[in-house]
Structure 1
Amino acid sequence: MHFEDTTIYIVGDAKSPQNNPIMEVYKAFFVGIVVDRKTAIIVDVECSATLGLTNSFVKSLLIGKNVLSPDVIDCINTRYFGSSQKAFGVALKDAQKKYQQIMQSESK
């Protein structure tokens, strides 16, 4: 897949519960997000899931949404009920923070 020159790639991470298969495989929960820097719209996303269905569902939750919108966290809390729900929210908040830092540094 080709991404436009206006996009950036950000990775957010968080600890996942010890009894979670994600911890067994990756030792943490990661969410990689491709964001259009001009619009803040999420163009693509993937996470450190052990099931392909999880990544497909995450894509359906986030693609097309504004990375800074509270709605992206809300949809995790209301629609994603995997054992890594809390870690997913924390990783996404980490990605939001990184996006804001990037945008602030570019505006200077």
Structure 2
Amino acid sequence: MEYKKSTIFVTGVARPSKDDPVASQYDLFFLSLIVDKTNDMIISAACNTARPMTEDFICSLIVNRNIETDLESITSEIRARFFGLLQKALIVALKDAHNRYSIAKKL
């Protein structure tokens, strides 16, 4: 897939809980985002999960949202709709990706 020159790739990381199946495969949970810096829209997302269904659901909560203006509403929706063991790690990774995006956008 080819992305516009206005897009950037950022990754947020967090430690999953020891109970999460992700922890048995990976030391860290990664949330990767492709964001269009002209409008701050998340156009694609991927993460390392134990099941493809989990990744699909996470992406449905994040893609086509504005990383700057929608961060709190995305976080609230994760708390209201995502009850996987990764919930806390997902929120931490999302906020980490947001911070990295804010730094990268200034460059």
Is TM-score (shorter-chain normalized) higher than 0.5?
Answer: yes
For 1:57 and 1:74, how far apart are their aligned partners in 2? 15
Q: Deviations over 1:35-74 (max 9, x none)?
A: 0011110000011111000111112111110012211211
Q: Deviations over 1:23-45 (max 9, x none)?
A: 11111111000000111100000
Match of 1:14 in 2: 14
Backbone CA RMSD of aligned residues: 0.9
Moved segments of 4+, more than 4 Å: none
Q: Deviations over 1:57-101 (max 9, x none)?
A: 112111110012211211111111100100000000000001111
TM-score (normalised: structure 2) = 0.93
For 2:50 and 2:84, how far apart are their aligned partners in 1? 11
For 1:90 and 1:12, how far apart are their aligned partners in 2? 8
Match of 1:80 in 2: 82
For 1:73 and 1:3, how far apart are their aligned partners in 2? 26
Match of 1:100 in 2: 102
Deviation at 1:12, TM superposition (A): 0.1
For 1:103 and 1:13, how far apart are their aligned partners in 2? 19
> Which ranges of structure 2 fall in alignment gaps of 5 or more residues?
none
Match of 1:90 in 2: 92
TM-score (normalised: structure 1) = 0.92
Aligned length: 105
> Which ranges of structure 1 fall in alignment gaps of 5 or more residues?
none
Give 1:15's aligned amino acid: R
Identical columns (%): 30
For 1:42 and 1:14, how far apart are their aligned partners in 2? 19
Matched, 1:39 2:20: no
